[in-house]
């Protein structure tokens, strides 16, 4: 009896922990969504012209521009480009499937596909002009930053799945590096990369919550006793 009671208590504690974690992630997603909407409205009200913080940051990037800096900035730009992210995305999905199962692999795949499916059309519809002296892309698809959105989505998804502090730390460094790269190359305004980061947080968090909910539902169904034949 004591053992059964202890097992039930441990199970309830585990459920509470999972629910609390999921609620925290969902709250962060809601806050990030609100922040994204506010930033989008501010940019729209400025007629998509650069905000004061955009001009300040762009001037700072100009002041620190060097040949070596440009070479370094192209590293995340290339890695986080279309071909780079296809290769990295496939590798991540395959490794997750191999090491952790198809549930985590599906989570990563869904998050990457969704953030691109949302971000690319959004950027095309908003059609915000990039800085005039862009060293990378020239198309008017500046808001939000797709590179930053995908990078953030991958980092947040990995952090939620692996639950390791060093994954979060390394991921945060990579996202900041990507944001710096896109603005150092004058491919985006500062508000663009902030919006991309927020988009990535929202998509990764909501996809993770949805996948976890599906897992719970499947677990409940498997625990239900099979109907007895009369």
Predicted local confidence at residue 1, as pLDDT: 46
Mean pLDDT across 110-122:
96
Tell me whether the omega of the peptide bond preceding residue 144 falls within 30 degrees of 0, making it cis: yes
Mean pLDDT across 111-133:
95
**pLDDT tens-digit map of 60-100:** 999 999 999 999 999 999 998 888 888 999 999 999 999 99
Tokens at 201, concatenated: 């947080």
**pLDDT tens-digit map of 159-194:** 999 999 999 999 999 999 999 999 999 999 999 999
Distance in angstroms (rounded) separating the CA atoms of residues 53 and 65: 18
Predicted local confidence at residue 202, as pLDDT: 98
Q: Give the position of tokens 């059964």.
A: 4
Q: Cα–Cα distances in Å, from 70 out to 11, 74, 82, 181, 228?
A: 53, 6, 20, 8, 70
- Report residue 21's pLDDT band, with 50, 70 and 90 as the boundaries: confident
What 3 state SS string does the chain have? CHHHHHHHHHHHHHHHHHHHHHHHHHHHHHHHHHHHHHHHHHHHHCCCCCCHHHHHHHHHHHHCCCHHHHHHHHHHHHHCCHHHHHHHHHHHHHHHHHHHCHHHHHHHHHHHHHHHHHHHHHHHHHCCCCCCCCCCCCCCCCCCCHHHHHHHHHHHHHHHHHCCHHHHHHHHHHHHHHHHHHHHCCCCCHHHHHHHHHHHHHHHHHHHHHHHHHHHHHHHHHHCCCCCCC
* Residues 6+ positions from 34 with CB-CB distance below 8 Å: none
Predicted local confidence at residue 156, as pLDDT: 98
- Report residue 226's pLDDT band, with 50, 70 and 90 as the boundaries: low
Least confident of 1-15, 74-88, 95-109, 146-160: 1-15
- Report residue 15's pLDDT band, with 50, 70 and 90 as the boundaries: low
pLDDT: which is higher, 15 or 218? 218
Q: Give the position of tokens 């034949």.
A: 229
Mean pLDDT across 49-54:
96
């Amino acid at each position: 009896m004591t053992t059964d009671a202890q097992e039930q208590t441990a199970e309830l504690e585990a459920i509470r922990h999972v629910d609390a974690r999921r609620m925290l992630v969902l709250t962060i997603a809601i806050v990030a969504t609100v922040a994204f909407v506010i930033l989008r409205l501010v940019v729209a009200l400025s007629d998509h012209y650069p905000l004061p913080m955009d001009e300040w940051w762009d001037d700072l990037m100009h002041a620190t521009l060097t040949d070596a800096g440009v070479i370094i900035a192209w590293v995340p730009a290339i890695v986080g480009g279309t071909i780079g992210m296809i290769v990295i995305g496939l590798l991540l999905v395959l490794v997750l499937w191999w090491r952790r199962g198809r549930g985590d692999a599906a989570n990563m795949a869904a998050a990457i596909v969704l953030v691109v499916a949302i971000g690319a059309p959004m950027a095309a519809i908003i059609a915000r002009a990039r800085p005039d002296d862009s060293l990378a892309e020239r198309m008017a698809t500046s808001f939000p930053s797709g590179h930053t959105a995908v990078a953030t989505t991958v980092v947040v998804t990995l952090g939620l799945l692996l639950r390791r502090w060093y994954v979060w730390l390394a991921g945060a460094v990579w996202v900041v590096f990507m944001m710096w790269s896109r603005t150092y190359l004058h491919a985006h305004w500062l508000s663009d990369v902030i919006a991309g980061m927020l988009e990535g947080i929202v998509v990764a968090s909501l996809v993770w919550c949805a996948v976890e909910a599906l897992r719970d539902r499947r677990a409940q169904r498997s625990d239900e006793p099979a109907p007895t034949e009369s």
